[in-house]
Structure 1
Amino acid sequence: MKDLFKEFKKFVSRGNVIELAVGLIMATYFGAIVKSFVNDIIMPAVGYLIAGVDFANLKLTIAERVLEDGTMQAITINYGAFINTIITFTIVSVAIFMVVKAYNNFMEKEEEKPAPKPAEPSKEEVLLTEIRDLLRS
């Protein structure tokens, strides 16, 4: 059991696992923000522009049935929710593309920076190099 715990501790303490966990958490909340943006800002505006249609309420009723308590239950295909999901996916894809593109541009600029010149040898090093060269000849 101790070996298993040590192995797990070694696995978790690796940088990649922590980075993956942080990335997963950030992606989850980024997705929630984009979903809210689509559902609460984009779709009402689009619905207003196309004569007040709310995509979330678009559905196709296949059948209706009466439950034991006397209420009606409709079996529906919610294609409006599907349209919202497609729009959300598209916006998330574009946003992630823009973030990755900005990251790649940043990394290219970092690579383009010239490497610092090596420091000039000190007077002692120059003197020792001359002495070495004299001893060789």
Structure 2
Amino acid sequence: MPPIGLLVKGIHFSDLYINLSRTRYPSLQAAQAAGVPTINYGVFLNNLINFLIVTAVLFVVVKQVNRLRRPKEAAPTTKPCPYCCSDIPLAAIRCPHCTSLLEVEGAGE
């Protein structure tokens, strides 16, 4: 929390509270020592900011791990038939779906 404390010029979130009595107290500790009912919203803000920081860090870590575990692209093993657009093996010379005779790559040389 120190960087956030610098941004808000030294305000300590844990010291923020709403006094439910009509008497003024200089700090949360003084109000609690007097037994005054208070709403400690600063503690909630601290916990909320800590939660958001932890979830952001976990999101980045999980995203990077998933990126590293992604399988590599394999070389294609099929090609589309130019006549019926079905997937056929790369070495095929005749389409098994439409029985069209296919041009063999490198055969015209």
Under a length normalisation based on structure 2, what TM-score does the superposition of the two structures give? 0.50
Letter aligned with residue 94 of structure 1: A
Note the C-alpha offset of 1:56: 1.2
**8 A contact 1:59–1:76 mirrored in 2:** yes
Letter aligned with residue 63 of structure 1: S
The answer to whether structure 1 residue 99 and structure 2 residue 61 are counterparts is yes
User: For 1:77-135, what per-residue CA distance to the aligned partner results, in whole angstroms no more than 9, with x for missing partners?
Assistant: 11011111111111111000000001001101xx2175xxxxxxxxxxxxxxxxxxxxx
**Unpaired runs of at least 5, structure 1:** 1-37, 65-70, 115-137
Question: What is the aligned-residue identity percentage?
Answer: 30
Note the C-alpha offset of 1:46: 2.8
Which residue of structure 2 aligns with residue 86 of structure 1? Answer: 48
Letter aligned with residue 3 of structure 2: I
Letter aligned with residue 93 of structure 1: T
**8 A contact 1:43–1:84 mirrored in 2:** no
Secondary structure, aligned partner of 1:73: coil
Counterpart-to-counterpart distance in 2, 1:46 and 1:83: 15
Give runs of ≥4 in structure 1 deviating > 2 Å.
none
Larger Rg computed on CA atoms:
2
Q: CA-atom RMSD, angstroms?
A: 2.4
Letter aligned with residue 45 of structure 2: I
Note the C-alpha offset of 1:44: 1.9
Under a length normalisation based on structure 1, what TM-score does the superposition of the two structures give? 0.41
User: Residue 4 of structure 2 is aligned with which of 34, 40, 43?
Assistant: 43
Q: Which has the higher helix share?
A: 1
Counterpart-to-counterpart distance in 1, 2:50 and 2:16: 16
User: For 1:29-80, what per-residue CA distance to the aligned partner results, in whole angstroms no more than 9, with x for missing partners?
Assistant: xxxxxxxxx3xx23321331xxx4221100001238xxxxxx6222211101
Counterpart-to-counterpart distance in 1, 2:20 and 2:41: 12
**Residue 74 to residue 43, structure 1, CA distance change in 2 (3 Å):** farther
User: Residue 20 of structure 2 is aligned with which of 62, 78, 81?
Assistant: 62
**Unpaired runs of at least 5, structure 2:** 23-32, 75-109
**Residue 113 to residue 97, structure 1, CA distance change in 2 (3 Å):** same
